[in-house]
Structure 1
Amino acid sequence: MSRIGKKPVAVPAGVTASLDGQTVKAKGPKGELAFLVPDLVSVSLDAGLVKVQPRDESKPARAQWGMSRTMVSNIFVGVTKGFEKKLEINGVGYKAAVAGKVLKLSLGYSHDVDFPIPEGIAIVASKPTELLITGIDKQKVGQVAAEIREYRGPEPYKGKGVKYAGEFIFRKEGKKK
């Protein structure tokens, strides 16, 4: 039994939820999202609660049960509060700046890296070494953060590069004589 899947998802105040076949739609103050629930899982909406149940006791159905409930919960959180990821840039001369719909990154290469900001994502560079990525779709926010981090991931000797805020970088000891 899925501990997460058993719990029904409450529809927050200010959000209108609708069920169209296997598609759960949520409309809130920040926007509108939808999630297509897999066929192995049944979904029902009654009295402000979204309940997710596996159609049978097969292993794939039970595997998708908890994931489906979490995805439905994420669309409700997304349309009310939204999601955010913080990135930190460490290194001499490493910096970031937002220019229109493009994020300009100086990461020690011979050229600046231009990252086009996708639709539905907002990036704020409060300091040249800090980025805040916000949006209503959790998967999209995480994917954008991962793509930016991929340009110059943190290295283990000095910790230079782009890392998530609060991420621990395992440090290696340098050469010895």
Structure 2
Amino acid sequence: MSRIAKKPVVLPKGVELNAQAESISVKGPKGTLSIAKPADIQVSIEDGNALLSANDPARIALTGTLRAIVANMVHGVAHGFERKLELVGVGYRAAVQGKDLTLSLGYSHPVVFKAPEGITITSPTQTEVIVAGADKQLVGEVAAKIRGFRPPEPYKGKGVKYSDEIIIRKEAKKA
């Protein structure tokens, strides 16, 4: 039995949850998100809380997963999500022009990344990039794509890394 599926999703002020037969949509100050809903899972809204339940006992685990996704959607449209990236290395720089992120990562050419719809990219300093948006999955995916342009290497620690990431350093070869 899933314990997560039993917990209600608290809907903050200004957030509306709308459950149809085949989808769930959440609307709030930061935007609108929706997801497909399996037919055998019911969503009921009582006293500002959303409760998910399954008819089939074999679908309880899916109910817990859907509850976690809906809770992330509610948090995203109310508060938003963000990932911070740091550029470590001599000459590694980031600049934002409109919706485009231009990265100088030691290649012969600058890397230009266009932000998808619903994502805002800012660069408070030349070595810091902040990816923000309402969709947790999309924010993580965009941050991983930016990190993938030059992942941190274990010898000098150079590259694009998450701000909370710890790079385990290797010792260089000894002659």
Question: Which consecutive unaligned segments of at least 5 residues does structure 1 have?
Answer: none
Cα RMSD, aligned residues only: 1.3
Structure 1 stretch displaced more, 131-140 or 16-25: 16-25
Cross-structure match for 1:153: 151
Counterpart-to-counterpart distance in 1, 2:40 and 2:172: 52
Q: Does 1:51 align with 2:47?
A: no
| Residues 123-160 of structure 1 deviation map (CA, whole Å, 9 limit, x = unaligned) | 11001110111101111111100000001100011110
- SS of residue matched to 1:119: coil
Q: TM-score scaled by structure 1?
A: 0.93
Report what 1:26 is aligned to.
26
Which whole-Å CA distance do the structure 2 matches of 1:51 and 1:6 have between them?
A: 7
Amino acid at match of 2:6: K
> Which SS does the other structure have where 2:123 is aligned?
strand
Deviations 1:47-73 (A, max 9, x none): 322111233122xx2332211001111
Residue 122 (structure 2) pairs with residue 107 (structure 1): no
Write the mapping of 1:1-177 to structure 2, written as runs, cut at 5 A: 1-58=1-58, 61-177=59-175
> SS at 1:149's partner residue?
helix
Query: Aligned pairs, how many?
Result: 175
Report the residue type matching 1:99 in the other structure: Q
Question: Once superposed, which parts of structure 1, at least 4 consecutive aligned residues long, lie more than 3 Å away?
Answer: none
1:38/1:64 contact within 8 Å kept: no
Q: Distance in 1 between matches of 2:114 and 2:51?
A: 38
In the alignment, structure 2 segments of 5+ residues that lack a partner are none
Asked if structure 1 preserves the Cα contact closer than 8 Å seen for 2:99 and 2:121, the reply is no
SS of 2:124's equivalent in the other structure is strand
